[in-house]
C-alpha cells in the first residue's frame, strides 16, 4: 500500500528533490504550499494560507510529515526584531504544523532543522548530535528552540519526532552563496581563498532527500536527531578548485593569510563573515549511518559535477 507523506515547503529547492525521491521509493508525496506559491512537480498539492492558520485537513490520510517550510537565514536582515520573526515561523509555525498533523492522524513528524541549531563552527573535532546546543544567531536560535519544543510535544502526545540537521545544501537549482561562488569562478574573479585550510561539511540535495525519506519511514528513526552530510569535508580552497574544474574554468585563487582577512573583516565590519569563512565546520554523520543504515549515494565530486552542469546550462539559456 502506498504511504502518503506530506511535505511542507514542497516547491522549494529541497522539497522538489524530496518529492521526486519519495515517488521513486513508492510513496505518495503530498505537497503543502502557501496560497499563490508556484506548484511543485509530480505531487498532489494542498494549499494553505499560512503555517499560523494550518488545519488538520492539510494532512488528511498522511502517515508522516516532513517539515521543510521555514524562514531561512537572511544576510543583512532588515526586520526590526529578527529573532521574533524567526520564532514566529520556525518555532510557532512548526509547532502548529505538528499539532495539525497529529490531530489529522499522522504518526511521525520530521523536522528539518539546521546545523546552526548546534553551532557555527566545530570545536577542533566534528560535531555530533549530543553536543550542547550553542546557536550563533537568531536563525540558529529559532531552530534550536523548535527542536526542543517539538521533542516536548512528542513526549506529551506520543507523536514520533525526528530531527535532521543538514549543513550547507548544494545541487542543481541552488542559489545564495553557492550560486554566487560559481558565478565568480566563471567570470574569472580573483578569490582571496587560496590560504584557507578550514574544512566544511556539505550535503548534496539528493543525499539529503534520501536521508529525509528514511527519517520519515524507518522504524528506528523515531525520537532521533541526525546529522546528514556527504561524508567528505573539503577545505574551502580545495572546494573552489574542484568546483572550477567542473565549471571548466580555472579558479583564480589568491593566497591571503587568514590574519589579513581578519584585519579586513574588522575594517569592513564583516568580522562574523570572515570568522565563518576561515573556521572549520565539520559534522559527524555516522549516527544516521549506524542507526538507519543510510549512506549518501552521490559523492562530492559527482554532486559538484551535476551542480556545475546545471549552472552552465542555466547561464547559456539566459545569455
What's the rounded mean pLDDT across residues 263-287?
Answer: 80
How many whole angstroms separate alpha carbon 293 and alpha carbon 197? 31
Instruction: Band the pLDDT of 43: cuts 50, 70, 90.
Output: low
Residue 41: pLDDT over 60: no
What three-state secondary structure class fits 175? coil
More confident of the two residues 87 and 79:
87
Report all structural domains of the chain as residue ranges with CATH numbers, in order of start.
4-170+203-229+281-298 (3.40.50.720)
Q: Say which residues have a Cβ less than 8 Å from residue 198's Cβ, sequence separation at least 6.
A: 235, 236, 277, 278, 279, 280, 281
Each residue's pLDDT tens digit, 238-247: 999 999 999 9
> What pLDDT score does 172 carry?
96
**Residue 138: per-residue pLDDT:** 95
Residue 2 buriedness (CB in 10 A; 0-12 / 13-18 / 19+):
exposed
Percent of the chain with pLDDT over 90: 75
3-state SS, residue 21: helix
Predicted confidence at residue 49, as pLDDT, reads 62
Strands 202-204 and 160-165, bridge-based pairing: unpaired
pTM of the prediction? Answer: 0.93
| Sole residue written with cell 540537521 | 165
Going from the C-alpha of 273 to that of each of 24, 69, 234, the distances in angstroms are: 39, 25, 19
For 103-120, the pLDDT digits (tens) are 999 999 999 999 999 999
Look up residue 237 and give its three cell numbers: 580552497
pLDDT given for residue 319 in this prediction: 46
Q: Tally Cβ neighbours within 10 Å of residue 37.
A: 16
Determine contact, residues 182/243, Cβ cutoff 8 Å: yes
**What are the CB-based long-range contacts (under 8 Å, 24+) for 248-254?**
248/312, 249/185, 249/186, 249/188, 251/185, 251/191, 252/185, 252/188, 252/189, 252/190, 252/191, 253/190, 253/191, 253/193, 253/194, 254/190, 254/191, 254/192, 254/193, 254/194
Q: Are 41 and 16 in contact (CB under 8 A)?
A: yes
In the predicted model, what is the mean pLDDT of the chain? 90
What number of other Cβ atoms are within 10 A of residue 252's Cβ? 16
Q: What b/e readout covers 16-30, taking b as 16+ CB neighbours within 10 angstroms?
A: bbbbbbbeebebbbb
- pLDDT score recorded for residue 261: 72
User: Is there a catalytic annotation at residue 139?
Assistant: yes
pLDDT confidence of residue 142: 97
What is the per-residue pLDDT for 228?
A: 98
Neighbours of 289 (CB within 10 A): 16
Predicted confidence band at 220 (pLDDT cuts at 50, 70, 90)?
Answer: very high
The answer to whether the beta carbons of residues 35 and 80 sit under 8 Å apart is no
Write down the pLDDT at residue 40: 56
CA distances from 81 to 84, 85, 87, 313 (A): 6, 7, 10, 40
Query: Where is 297: in which H helix or E strand?
Result: none
**How high is the pLDDT of residue 35?**
72
C-alpha cell, 155? 513526549
Read off the pLDDT of residues 128-174 as tens digits, 9 standing for 90 and up. Answer: 999 999 999 999 999 999 999 999 999 999 999 999 999 999 999 99
Q: Catalytic one among 139, 170, 204, 311?
A: 139
Amino acid at each position: 500500500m502506498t504511504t502518503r507523506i506530506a511535505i511542507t515547503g514542497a516547491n522549494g529547492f529541497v522539497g522538489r528533490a524530496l518529492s521526486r525521491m519519495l515517488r521513486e521509493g513508492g510513496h505518495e508525496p503530498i505537497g503543502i504550499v502557501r496560497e499563490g506559491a508556484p506548484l511543485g512537480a509530480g505531487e498532489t498539492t494542498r494549499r494553505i494560507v499560512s503555517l499560523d492558520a494550518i488545519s488538520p485537513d492539510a494532512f488528511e490520510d498522511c502517515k508522516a510529515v516532513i517539515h521543510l517550510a521555514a524562514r531561512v537565514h537572511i544576510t543583512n536582515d532588515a526586520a526590526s526584531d529578527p529573532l521574533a520573526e524567526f520564532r514566529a515561523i520556525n518555532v510557532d509555525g512548526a509547532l502548529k504544523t505538528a499539532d495539525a498533523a497529529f490531530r489529522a492522524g499522522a504518526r511521525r513528524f520530521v523536522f528539518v532543522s539546521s546545523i546552526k541549531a548546534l553551532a557555527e563552527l566545530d570545536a577542533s573535532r566534528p560535531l555530533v548530535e549530543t553536543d550542547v546546543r550553542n546557536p550563533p544567531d537568531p536563525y540558529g536560535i529559532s531552530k534550536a528552540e523548535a527542536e526542543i519544543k517539538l521533542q516536548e510535544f512528542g513526549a506529551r502526545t506520543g507523536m514520533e519526532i525526528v530531527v535532521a540537521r543538514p549543513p550547507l545544501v548544494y545541487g542543481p537549482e541552488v542559489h545564495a552563496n553557492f550560486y554566487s561562488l560559481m558565478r565568480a569562478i566563471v567570470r574569472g574573479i580573483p578569490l582571496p581563498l587560496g590560504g584557507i585550510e578550514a574544512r566544511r561539511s556539505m550535503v548534496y540535495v539528493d543525499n539529503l532527500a534520501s536521508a529525509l525519506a528514511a527519517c520519515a519511514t524507518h522504524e528506528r528513526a523515531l525520537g532521533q536527531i541526525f546529522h546528514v552530510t556527504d561524508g567528505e569535508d573539503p577545505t574551502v580552497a580545495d572546494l573552489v578548485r574542484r568546483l572550477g574544474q567542473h565549471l571548466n574554468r580555472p579558479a583564480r585563487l589568491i593566497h591571503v593569510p587568514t590574519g589579513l582577512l581578519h584585519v579586513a573583516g574588522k575594517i569592513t565590519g564583516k568580522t562574523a563573515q570572515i570568522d565563518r569563512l576561515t573556521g572549520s565546520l565539520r559534522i559527524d554523520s555516522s549516527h544516521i549511518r549506524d542507526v538507519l543504515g543510510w549512506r549518501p549515494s552521490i559523492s562530492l565530486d559527482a554532486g559538484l559535477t551535476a551542480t556545475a552542469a546545471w549552472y552552465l546550462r542555466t547561464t547559456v539559456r539566459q545569455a
